[in-house]
Structure formats: structure tokens, C-alpha cells
């Protein structure tokens, strides 16, 4: 049986998500550290880590590791800092959304290169870490990093 849970520290984002017609799901206010241990088969983090300094990113990845069942998967999508000609306008767009318009929680932006993210995921104990660029034909330099919690 498929069960979908969402977690976010921003009550405004949760209220917006509750208006979705995407099916049945549960939403919780909080962070990855609040997730119950060994509960999930897959956790996705989409365009979130760039809002966190390195120590907070590590805590989120660690929380995800604990919350996954053995053999569970983590999938992270973030902006890459390369190529620069895609990154610069994307970073400007995110800066406006976060710092000026306040659409997203965050006080500073902490972008990482697509090469640093797999190291961070591996550093938290994930194995079979893979990186996939998903920006072909798009203006934003998105990269997906996935890994598995060992069985």
C-alpha cells in the first residue's frame, strides 16, 4: 500500500499542499530530524538543501538515513553551480524568491556544486550513490543524487 507523507517547517507551504488533488497523503510541520526511525522506503528532498548551511544539511541527511528502512532510497534534487551560465540566473531567481519575496524559509542561500552533494550523501552512510543531471533542454541546472541505506 502506498503511503505518502510530507514534512516542511513552513505552515504556509503545508497549507498550500493541503489544497492539492494529488491523492491521499499526510502532512507534518517539522524537519527530517522529526521523522520516525526506520519508517520509509523512499525519501525525496526537492530544492531544499540550498537553504541550509553545511551542518544543517548534514543533520537533514542524517535524519533521512535514520528514517529510512534498511535498503531504502534517498533522492535529492538541487541546483548545481555548473554550468555557470545556467546557475547565475537560477541563483538570482532563488535569491529573489527567498530573500526579497519570502516565498521560502531561509536567511541565506548555500548552493553546492553537484560534485559536493554526492560526497555529503556518502558521508552520512548512504551507499550506491549516483548522480544524474536532469537539465538537458532546461534553463535550470538541476542535478539528482540518489543513494541507499545499506541493508
Inter-CA distances, 43 with 10, 53, 66, 70, 82, Å:
18, 20, 11, 13, 25
Query: Domain 37-148, what fold?
Result: Rossmann fold (3.40.50)
What residue ranges of the chain are covered by domains with CATH 3.40.50.150?
37-148
In sequence order, what are the beta bridge partners of 110?
none
pLDDT of res. 24: 81
Mean pLDDT of 118-146: 95
pLDDT of residue 2: 80
Residues recorded for the chain: 151
CA distance 102 to 122: 32
Higher confidence at residue 21 or residue 62? 62
- φ, ψ for residue 77 (rounded to 5)? -120, 130
Average pLDDT over residues 106-130: 89
Amino acid at each position: 500500500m502506498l503511503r505518502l507523507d510530507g514534512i516542511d517547517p513552513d505552515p504556509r507551504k503545508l497549507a498550500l499542499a493541503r489544497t492539492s488533488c494529488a491523492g491521499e497523503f499526510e502532512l507534518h510541520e517539522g524537519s527530517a530530524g522529526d521523522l520516525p526511525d526506520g519508517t520509509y522506503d523512499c525519501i525525496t528532498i526537492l530544492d531544499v538543501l540550498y537553504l541550509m548551511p553545511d551542518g544543517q544539511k548534514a543533520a537533514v541527511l542524517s535524519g533521512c538515513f535514520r528514517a529510512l528502512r534498511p535498503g531504502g532510497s534517498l533522492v535529492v534534487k538541487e541546483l548545481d553551480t555548473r554550468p555557470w551560465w545556467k546557475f547565475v540566473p537560477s541563483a538570482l531567481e532563488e535569491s529573489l524568491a527567498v530573500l526579497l519575496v519570502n516565498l521560502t524559509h531561509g536567511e541565506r542561500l548555500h548552493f553546492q556544486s553537484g560534485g559536493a552533494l554526492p560526497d555529503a550523501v556518502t558521508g552520512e552512510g548512504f551507499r550506491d550513490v549516483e548522480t544524474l543531471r536532469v537539465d538537458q533542454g532546461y534553463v535550470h541546472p538541476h542535478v539528482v543524487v540518489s543513494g541507499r541505506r545499506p541493508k
